[in-house]
Structure 1
Amino acid sequence: MLTLLAPLAMMQAAPPNADWNCEEPTRQQEMNWCAAQEYEKADLALNRQWKETAAAMKARDVAWQDNSMRPDARPGFFASLLEAQRAWLKFRDAHCRLDGYYARGGSLEPLLVSTCRTALTEMRTRELRELAQANP
């Protein structure tokens, strides 16, 4: 798997403090924890979509190879997807680290990083879904 797949138990874990509420967090630690939980949900969705998109790209590779009218020495659909995903992961992590630097060293930094990672991960999940559904 290309991203860390959070264990399901972690997703369903109770908050570190019983009075924390992610619907209306009021303390910075609570906000940071809730933002991290949102990122974990987005990451799980990305990993589910990755499996579907990877399977679709592998199927396209087979269909491409089976069509003798289209010989091509370039990397296949899956190899290109894998290369792109690896590059995207590096981009996401570096970009969101930089985004967190607006509060570098402060208690707000984890919230900024998690929020950025959630937004980019959700966008990437949509992109992967579109790739899987496209008809080349």
Structure 2
Amino acid sequence: MAKLFLWVFIAFISMSHSTYAEANCSSAQKDAEINHCWAKEKSSAENELNAEYASAKQRIAKAYATHKELLTQYNAILLDSQRGWLKYRDNQCRLEAFMADEKFAVYASLIDQCTTRIDRERVAQLKSISYE
């Protein structure tokens, strides 16, 4: 029951933060404000992702401290997964922004919106992985 509550809580926090960012950036009036807002949100989401990835590695190290071979395997799988996920994220965001001309700021803003959303989804995924 406690695990279920934790999962629901994590999902709620992730969604509410993403919804806040969307509401916050959609209240901007000028293109420059919108672009700046999403760039800031992307930076925040990337910081969250990096922190959670580091935290996941620490949880793995703690859980497998006495099993060096398993620790090495788990870290290799996590690293491979993260690299694959980053490739997915970047291509998905390019796909979502494809209709915009890369020469205009709206392209960067669409990339930032997508990256923010997908990074926060990944943070929730990393938090939900069982490390033991």
Same fold per superposition (TM over 0.5)? yes
Decide whether aligned partners of structure 1 residues 49 and 22 sit closer, same or farther in structure 2, where only a CA change above 3 A counts.
same
135 and 107 in structure 1: CA distance in 2 versus 1, 3 angstrom threshold:
closer
Shift in alpha-carbon separation, 1:38–1:54, aligned structure 2, 3 A: same
Residue aligning to 1:121:
119
Contact 1:58 1:77 in 2 (8 A): no
**Letter paired with 1:125:** V
Aligned with residue 109 of structure 1, among 96, 107, 110: 107
Does 1:100 find its partner at 2:110?
A: no
Pair 1:25-2:23 in alignment: no
Q: Any idea what the Cα deviations from partners look like across 1:3-50, whole Å, max 9, x if unmatched? A: xxxxxxxxxxxxxxxxxx957311112211110100100111111111
What SS does the aligned partner of 2:77 have? helix
Q: Distance in 2 between matches of 1:63 and 1:126?
A: 27
* Superposition deviation, residue 61 in structure 1: 3.6
Structure 2 unaligned segments of length 5 or more: list them: 1-23
Unaligned runs of 5+ in 1: 1-20, 66-70
What's the counterpart of residue 34 of structure 1? 37
Of 49, 54, 60, which aligns to 1:51? 54
Q: How many residue pairs are counted as aligned between the two chains?
A: 107
TM-score of the superposed pair, with normalisation by structure 1:
0.68
Query: What's the CA shift for 1:108?
Result: 2.0
Query: 1:8 maps to which residue?
Result: none
Q: Which has the higher contact order (CA 8 A, sep 6+)?
A: 2
User: Considering only CA atoms, is the larger Rg found in Structure 1 or Structure 2?
Assistant: 1
Q: Give the partner amino acid of 1:35.
A: W
Q: How well do the aligned residues superpose, as a CA RMSD in angstroms?
A: 2.3
Q: Deviations over 1:101-123 (max 9, x none)?
A: 12233442122111100000000
- Which of 77, 88, 92 is the aligned partner of 1:91? 88
